[in-house]
Amino acid sequence: MAQVNRPPYPVAPKQPATPPVVRQQRRVQPPHNVPENELYVEGVKQMREGSWYRLRGKSYVETSKFLLKADDIDYNEDTGDVDARGNVYLQHFEGAEELWADRALYNLNDDVGKFYNVRGKAPLRIEARPRVLTSSSPFYFEGKWAERLKEKYVLHDGMVTSCAMPNPWWTLRGPTFDIIPDEHAIAHNSTFRVRWVPIFWTPYFYKSLERLPRRSGLLTPNIGNSSQRGKMLGGGYYWAINRSYDTMYRVQYFTERGFAHTVDFRGKPREGTDFNVYMFGVNDKGLKTGNQVVKEGGFMVSMLGRTDLGDGFYGRAEVNYLSSFLFRQSFTETYNEAISSEVHSTGFVTKQWSSFGLDAVFQRLENFQSLAPDDVIVVRKLPELDFTSRDNRFWKPLPVWISWEMSGGLLRRGELDFKTRNFLERMDVYPRATTYLHFLGFTLVPSFAVRETHYGESRDQWTLLGHNALRSAREVDISLVPPSFARIFTAPKWMGQKLKHVIEPGVTYRYVTGVNDFNQLIRFDETELYSNTNQVEYSLTNRLYVKRNNSVEEILSWDLRQQRYFDPTFGGALSPDWCNVDGCRNVVLSSIELTPFAFLDGRRRYSPIASTLRMSPKGGIGFEWRTDYDPLLSKVAASSMTADVRVGQYFLSVGQNSMRYPERALSPNANQVRGMFMWGNENRRGLSAGFSAIYDVRVGQMQFATTQVTYNTDCCGISIQYRRLSFGTRNENQFRVAFAVANVGQFGTLKKQERMF
């Protein structure tokens, strides 16, 4: 921002000069250290007539609270009246506001006065927030005349702005303004102008000057257009109930779909406790498809809360409810949320002490299988108690550590053709003993565990058997950690001073037996994925470290892992009796601990080679590539790649995900590419632009695309965004526009959470 130097005192400019960057300070240091209840006066010529002081030429009056300068000043020491004329300048040290005027009539005792042809500025207390335009420019005002009444200014026939003077981008002009520095400004019957073009008129406009403002009032109306929803018009109200609670309600009308309602309720009942409840719903009057009217309305509720219960107990809850997956796909504004088929609700009370942890968990998981109304899997825990212990040394003379995981709860699972009873008990006890041996750089870590799990019900495929099940398993783990190999090289100049290459091999053998009823257990979570296995996992990790300016950073890691199975059926978990024929999709604990991609479509002796490559050679550059190379297929069967680069104001991100298994029993074949390019940021002066897209190569369809162009001045900005959504039942084009006023807010249909910057 260009800076204009202010002329030296006492001559004040006709217009307030562009200020330096506002610093967060509440008090300005006065020129002279005037004690409280004393007065300092000075002028080129000084005369005294009774109780009047006549100051002529470069005159000023200073107290511990303010400084007043002018060409000529008359001061009455009995009444405290001051008459200042010519290039009047007033500065209040406490609030840091400054005024310029042609004449001022002021009373020092009452701290009241009048200023004629006045100009002024007051600093704003700014808190930067993501995707909100902020500026360090002060709050300017000017008018034909103004009154100061204690801490308040009343401005007559004037204007206010936060833009640099003398040619502001926006102004709010009106007959009367009430301004309390650091608190608020109120405009009556005012007109908002961009340059000299009137945009809208309002009978009452309130602007907080506080750092964290809260005040009840109407929200800015918005208008817009959508290819599926039609024209839209919305408004709302924010209610600051008291210092502990507030709520916001917004209604939006779509000409083609009906009314949408949003409620946001927040509260902080006491120290250490707060909550936020968000509700969104649409009364959809339906889209006409042929001779039918298809309604896609519904609602969603989200609640987040936390509390400190004392004595080390802490509670947290995240509750989400969705009426239908069709509603989410049709009306959700973000792509990631629209395609997500899961709804999670979790609440817990926990206490952690020493190496122990106690948790009471309440959980509900919904997994929508399709757009059909009842095609959903619901898993519920109400409640489950977990008691865990990290490794504790059993007896100091012996290198043996004991740990355990214990849980017990009431569970339920329901879907279209299968439902358990409302409260099915499950109890799981999982103690483990671990030791280690170290010799010649080799470390051997053997452990032995017992796992006993009781179920109140079991199944035969999709039929409940009506009797209990007891799983008694024994587990042996032996990890061998050989010594690492390392070598130090001289690094290229662009990389640093030194480069270190480290190779870390590892081998782990695991044997689990006793899980003889894997396919009779009802699936609730990963506990039921525990299966028999006889396997060995071997890994090789390469790491590169670089030394820059006496700081060591890891710039590359490449981890390769594979599992060898001596029991290809995992104790019968993959038996043909369950799959009917080889080729079904199976998920067991051993497979998901290796890779997030499913690969068990039948019996096999070894897993794919799971590769994870991460690179960050310099700040602002990141790369990650996860792949599964399947030797049975002689190809990379699954891949997920992402790369990010940020250089100055430029940001580029690309990614690709693909699945190439020949059988759809594992996962549908997919090839999806995403990309994002951004130039600038939300506070950059001038032009900023961004583009993001997600393209499905397999079906040849752009599922989501966003383009945004923003132009910011020193105090305001305009953003135009185009969005394209095409997935599921959604086929929509959206145009959104927002006009942002720095430190005030924005007007339009582009919400801040939907902005790219």
What pLDDT does 494 receive? 80
> 386 near 404, Cβ under 8 Å?
no
> Are 203 and 232 within one domain?
no
> Are 350 and 236 within one domain?
yes
What pLDDT does 663 receive? 65
Say whether the peptide bond before residue 8 is cis (omega within 30 degrees of 0).
no
Q: Which residue has the higher pLDDT, 179 or 648?
A: 648
Residue 320 lies in a domain: yes
What pLDDT does 214 receive? 74
> Are 203 and 256 within one domain?
no
Tell me the residue type at 119. Answer: R
> Are 195 and 153 within one domain?
yes
- Which of 357, 373, 389 lies at the terminal end of a domain, its last residue? 373
Closest C-alpha among 537, 539, 540, 538 to residue 503: 540
> Are 353 and 326 within one domain?
yes
Two structure tokens written together for 260: 């949408």
* φ, ψ for residue 752, nearest 5 deg: -65, -30
- DSSP label at 11? P
> Are 194 and 252 within one domain?
no
> 744 near 207, Cβ under 8 Å?
yes
How far is C-alpha 62 from the chain's CA centre?
Answer: 49
Q: Rounded CA gap, 693 and 13, in Å?
A: 52
- DSSP label at 586? B
> Are 75 and 121 within one domain?
yes
Q: Which of 156-165, 352-361, 383-392 has the lowest mean pLDDT?
A: 156-165
Q: pLDDT tens digits, residue range 96-149?
A: 788 899 999 988 888 888 999 999 888 766 666 666 787 777 888 899 999 988
Q: pLDDT tens digits, residue range 492-538?
A: 888 888 999 999 999 999 999 999 889 889 999 999 999 999 999 99
Average pLDDT over residues 300-327: 95
CATH number at residue 174: 2.60.450.10
- Which of 213, 243, 271 lies at the terminal end of a domain, its last residue? 213
Say whether the peptide bond before residue 10 is cis (omega within 30 degrees of 0).
yes
**Full residue range of the structural domain in which residue 51 is found:** 40-213
- Which of 213, 246, 277 lies at the terminal end of a domain, its last residue? 213
Q: pLDDT tens digits, residue range 328-338?
A: 988 988 888 88
Helix (H) or strand (E) holding 456: none
Classify residue 569 by burial, with Cβ atoms within 10 Å: 0-12, 13-18, 19+: middle
- DSSP label at 523? P
* φ, ψ for residue 40, nearest 5 deg: -120, 120
> Are 152 and 234 within one domain?
no
Residue 622 lies in a domain: no
pLDDT at residue 582 is higher than 50: no
* Location of structure tokens 């090289």: 489
Q: Please say whether the dihedral angle defined by the alpha carbons of residues 335, 336, 340 and 346, taken in this order, is positive or negative.
A: negative
> Are 84 and 148 within one domain?
yes
pLDDT at residue 29 is higher than 70: no
> 156 near 194, Cβ under 8 Å?
no
Residues belonging to the chain: 757
> 278 near 302, Cβ under 8 Å?
yes
Q: Rounded CA gap, 112 and 92, in Å?
A: 13
> Are 134 and 179 within one domain?
yes
What pLDDT does 21 receive? 32
Residue 746 lies in a domain: no
Classify residue 417 by burial, with Cβ atoms within 10 Å: 0-12, 13-18, 19+: exposed
Residue 61 lies in a domain: yes
What pLDDT does 24 receive? 35
DSSP result, 430-478: EEEEEE-EEETTEEEEEEEEEEEEEES--EETTEE--S-EEEEEEEEEE
> Are 173 and 233 within one domain?
no
Contacts of 523 (CB under 8 A, 6+ apart): 413, 529
* pLDDT classification of 417: cutoffs 50, 70, 90: confident
Residue 536 lies in a domain: no
> Are 115 and 133 within one domain?
yes
- DSSP label at 579? H
Residue 113 lies in a domain: yes
> 713 near 168, Cβ under 8 Å?
no
Alpha helices, DSSP H, located in 84-153 = none
> 492 near 546, Cβ under 8 Å?
no
Residue 21 lies in a domain: no
pLDDT at residue 751 is higher than 90: no
CB neighbours (10 Å) of residue 102? Answer: 18
Q: Rounded CA gap, 406 and 431, in Å?
A: 8
Q: Please say whether the dihedral angle defined by the alpha carbons of residues 339, 345, 349 and 353, taken in this order, is positive or negative.
A: negative
Q: Rounded CA gap, 148 and 104, in Å?
A: 10
> 160 near 172, Cβ under 8 Å?
yes
Q: pLDDT tens digits, residue range 585-600?
A: 889 999 999 998 889 8
Residue 515 lies in a domain: no
Q: Total structural domains in the chain?
A: 2
